[in-house]
Structure formats: C-alpha cells, structure tokens
Amino acid sequence: MGSLKIENVKKAFGPVEVLKGIDLEVTDGEFVVFVGPSGCGKSTLLRVIAGLEDSTSGRVLIDGADVSVTPPAKRGIAMVFQTYALYPHLTVKNNMALGLKQAGTPAAEIERRIKIASAMLSLEPYLERRPAELSGGQRQRVAIGRAVVREPKLFLFDEPLSNLDAALRVNTRLEIAQLHRRLKATMIYVTHDQVEAMTLADKIVVLNAGRIEQIGSPMELYNAPANEFVAGFIGSPKMNFIDGARLGETAKTIGVRPEHLTVDTKSGAWKGTVVHAEHLGADTNLYLDCETAGLITVRIFGVYNAEPGSTLYATPDAAKTYRFGADGKVLK
C-alpha cells in the first residue's frame, strides 16, 4: 500500500541544479533514510516527493500512479517537519483533525483515529491544549500524531529530531522506530545525522551534490562503501584517509576506520605522536600525528591512557582497509 518510484527527477532553481537526476525505488513498508551533508538536495527531494516543489523533469510514482502533477493533499502522504509546524491557533486534537476534516472524513472516524494515535503517542492528557502550552518533545509527538491519523501511504519526515535536545532526540528516535514496526508503513526520513540514519533505516540513500552516491542497508554502507564520500560520511569518528603514495600503495587513497586500528607502545606499522586524547568512558579517541600516514584518528574501546606528546604505533587491520582510485571509487 505504499511504494514509491522516482524516475530521473531533476530540480533546478534558476541556473542552480539542486537535483541532478535521481532514480530510486522504495518498496512497501520500507524505512528509507536520505542522508547527506547540508545542501546536498535531500530536503528538496523530499519536497518533490511531497509535491511541495515541482520537479523540473522526471516522474514521481506512488503506488504505481504518476503523481507529478497531483497536489500534496491528494498524494496520500503525511509529513513531519523539523519545526513541528503545528497550527498555533488550534488545540492538539484539532491539529490532528484538520487534514481529515478537509478530506471530508466522517466525524466518528476522525474521533476513532485520533483516539488510536494519541494512545500510541501518549498524547491523551494534552488533547485540549494548544501547541504553545507543550514542550518541544510533545509538540513533535503531536506533529507525528497528525501524520499518523491520516493513515498515509507514505510518511515523510524532514529532519524531525533536529530541534530537540540530545536526550529527547534518542527517545523520539526510539518512538519513530517503534511506530514504524507497529504501522508497517513506508517511511522516508531526511536527516544529516548519520547516527539517526544508521539506527532507523532499512535502507539508506546517501546523497551528495544532487546525486545519489550509494543506496544500501546501514551495514552494507558501513562494510562496503562504494566510494570515498560514503566511506567518509558513514561512521563516527570519520574514516581516516591516507594518501596512497605516502604509504607506497598504487591506490590514490587508503581508507581505514578509527575502530579498525590498534595501537601499541613498542611496535607497529605507523609511528606517531599523540596530539590529543578524548576520553568518552566507553571508548577513547586518540589523534595521532604519524610520520608516514599523517594525522589519523584511532578509536580504542574502553579506557586507554595516553599522554599527549607520547609515541605510539598504530596498525591497521589489513582486512578492513579500503582502497580508493583516483575517481574516488573503491578498488576491488
């Protein structure tokens, strides 16, 4: 009941091309996350799917039907915005009901759906309040509730957690994950936060400069990035990129994730000086300035004591290093 197909969608604002030909297929019930740096076109793509922006060329199909010229309200979608975008003059209940009233849904049915949604999101105590009387987390739950009551074919989330503080973000993330499991609905989620992408997605679409860099499950992207951009974008701290020539390799660039490096005080592949150590409790991030490899990050699980200025040897896990060609693509 909720598949999406995008065929060669392009979008230009005047001379600026924001989307340079996007092809994508989303099957029913999938949780797809668009991720990318700011300005990569992910929000624009979501707006094109929603119908808030017209694509310059290309087609958008929802459930096989071309909706390229269908207004947003008739596309069978619901959207959750970063700034919540609740109607300030309406109560929580009416905020949820408005879309259904506009669509001519019978009052009893509206009542029933609001009851289910507010129970799901524990919003019952707030139904008669106005948005101004709610906290940020509650407001975002109302916004999600407003999407749920529409029973859409597609849920669209536009950076819904960006305005929440860190603790609330984790909670709400969990709620969205549970919501997806319960509703089994197709969801498309835009974020610039790769942690959100990794934890929520069935399928991640990495976008950069208006193009899709790679599509895959979180672990596919982590274990087998197609190119340097995806390798650098997925994973935190970021993958180390070392100039191949400095290591005497044929590849243009060698990539190794901080967690795939081990350190030793006596011997190892790369000798370096500790520049800075970040102690996070569960793990320790070391910044090493290596003679051959340059500045690299090493992530060590657990506590590791290293004084800045001391000498350490880092050794990459050979099975988990990546080799990139001059075009940035992974060399097999």
Find the shortest distance in angstroms from Cβ 204 to another protein. 24
Tell me if 26 sits within 8 A of 3, measured CB to CB: yes
Question: 136-149 vs 107-120: helix axis angle to the nearest 10?
Answer: 140
Q: Which amino acid is at 269?
A: A
What's the closest the beta carbon of residue 133 comes to another protein, in angstroms?
17
Is 81 or 304 the residue whose CB approaches another protein more closely? 81
Nearer to another protein, 78 or 239 (CB): 78
Which residue bears the tokens 């797809």? 32
Structure tokens at 72: 């947003």
Give whichever of 1 and 103 is closer to another protein, judged by the CB atom: 103
Which residues in 143-162 contact another protein (CB under 8 A)? 146, 158
CA atoms within 13 A on the CB side of 201: 29
Which region, judged by CB under 8 A, interacts with another protein, from 99-107, 242-250, 294-302, 305-313?
A: 99-107
Answer yes or no: are the C-beta atoms of 148 and 80 closer than 8 Å: no
Sequence-distant (6+) residues with CB within 8 A of 43 are 158, 159, 190
Query: Which of 146, 260 has the CB closer to another protein?
Result: 146
Size of the site for another protein (CB under 8 A): 27
CB-based contact 201:33 (threshold 8 Å): yes
Q: With respect to another protein, which residue has the nearer C-beta, 139 or 299? A: 139
Which has the closest alpha carbon to 190: 9, 1, 72, 39? 39
* Cβ nearer to another protein, comparing 41 with 131: 131
Regarding 84 and contact with another protein (CB under 8 A), the answer is yes
Q: H/E element holding 196?
A: helix 194-200
**Assigned token pair, 307:** 């004084």
Rule CB under 8 A: is residue 78 a binding residue for another protein? yes
- Binding another protein (rule: CB under 8 A), the pick from 32, 50, 117, 134 is 50
Least separation, in Å, of the C-beta of 82 and another protein? 7
User: Taken in order 259, 265, 271, 273, is the CA torsion positive or negative?
Assistant: positive
- Taking CB under 8 A as the binding criterion, the range among 43-51, 59-67, 178-186, 205-213 that sits at the site for another protein is 43-51
Tell me which residues touch another protein (CB under 8 A): 13, 47, 50-52, 71-74, 77-79, 81-89, 98-99, 102-103, 146, 158
